[in-house]
Copies of this chain bind each other. A is one copy, B any other.
Amino acid sequence: MDYVNEAWRLLVELRGRTPRVHCITNDAAQAFTADILLAAGAIPSLSLAENEIEAFVGSSDALLINLGTLDERRLAAVERCVPMMREAGKPWVLDPVFVERSKPRLMLATTLLTQEPTAIRGNRAECAALADAAPVFSAFLSEHASSVVAMTGEIDVVFGGAQPVSISNGHSYMAQATAIGCALSALVAAFLVTGAEAPVAVASAVLVWGVAGEIAGAKAGGPGTFRPLLIDALHGFDEETLKAHARIEKGAQ
């Protein structure tokens, strides 16, 4: 698998398709997540209203579930929308924000794992908490699992294909600004719409994100200016940049 060429091919396809991605995500991440989806070529929607979420999710190509704000509206929305995506055979992504700090959130995440999300994107602490709480999560970290896992950190590892894949792109500012991981999870959902094999689609999203982060980080004066520059980098992303910067290899680092 030539991941770099594949990532470029999928980004081109994503831009051509302008898929709709519905996001059930936390308050602080909503605006940035929507901007990232637009910059990637997707169309975001964020509605949580009981009487219209089915219309939005039903006409969406992918769904993001981010557990960062767990109010009743969102809990109800999650319960309704996951079966819709599964029945329609459409991809959905779970982002288990901060599950290591809240039992009820961890319990919800483990329940959702049994629904086999197309992909799960979390940092090391979140993934460790899931592995402790849900044996099924550890099974996801093996070959040909039902869910792909992207565990992000200084080095990002994507599990679920014949072998794990490690990506060492990115920038330190990505851990120093809010909602960066949340937005990556939305980007993963958008890449899954391409219909590529899930491990490849997820690795492609993580790779593009890491390279965009590097480009933005090199121009930024800190984590504040990094945010708008990251949107710009994703919007203007081109093949040369990807090929010059990509650091992806087989195996878990």
With a cutoff of 8 Å between Cβ atoms, the chain B residues found around residue A55 in the complex are: 101-104
Given contacts A228-B228, A229-B224, contact A235 B31 (CB under 8 A): no
Give chain B nearest CB distance to A8 CB in angstroms. 19
| Cα–Cα, bound, A28→B102 (Å) | 24
Give chain B nearest CB distance to A26 CB in angstroms. 7
Give chain B nearest CB distance to A111 CB in angstroms. 14
Interfacial residues of chain A within 7-61, with CB under 8 A of chain B in the complex: 26-32, 34-35, 38-39, 44-49, 51-52, 55-56, 59
Give chain B nearest CB distance to A189 CB in angstroms. 17
With a cutoff of 8 Å between Cβ atoms, the chain B residues found around residue A225 in the complex are: 228-229, 231-232
The reply to whether the CB of A98 lies closer than 8 angstroms to some CB of chain B is yes
Contact of A222 among B28, B69, B224, B235 (CB under 8 A): B235
Interface 9-residue window, one of A80-88, A176-184, A195-203 = A176-184
Contact of A224 among B102, B177, B223, B227 (CB under 8 A): B227
Majority secondary structure, A binding face: helix
The 7 closest A-B pairs by CB, nearest first: A224-B231, A222-B232, A224-B228, A52-B102, A34-B178, A28-B30, A222-B235
With a cutoff of 8 Å between Cβ atoms, the chain B residues found around residue A59 in the complex are: 101
**Number of copies of this chain in the oligomer?**
3
Interfacial residues of chain A within 214-253, with CB under 8 A of chain B in the complex: 220-233, 235-236
Contacts beyond the supplied A35-B223, A38-B177: 8 A-B pairs with Cβ under 8 Å = A39-B223, A45-B101, A47-B98, A49-B70, A51-B104, A52-B102, A59-B101, A223-B232
The reply to whether the CB of A144 lies closer than 8 angstroms to some CB of chain B is no
With a cutoff of 8 Å between Cβ atoms, the chain B residues found around residue A69 in the complex are: 46-49
Closest Cβ neighbor of A30 among chain B residues: B28
With a cutoff of 8 Å between Cβ atoms, the chain B residues found around residue A235 in the complex are: 176, 222-224
Give chain B nearest CB distance to A16 CB in angstroms. 16
Closest Cβ neighbor of A34 among chain B residues: B178
Give chain B nearest CB distance to A60 CB in angstroms. 10
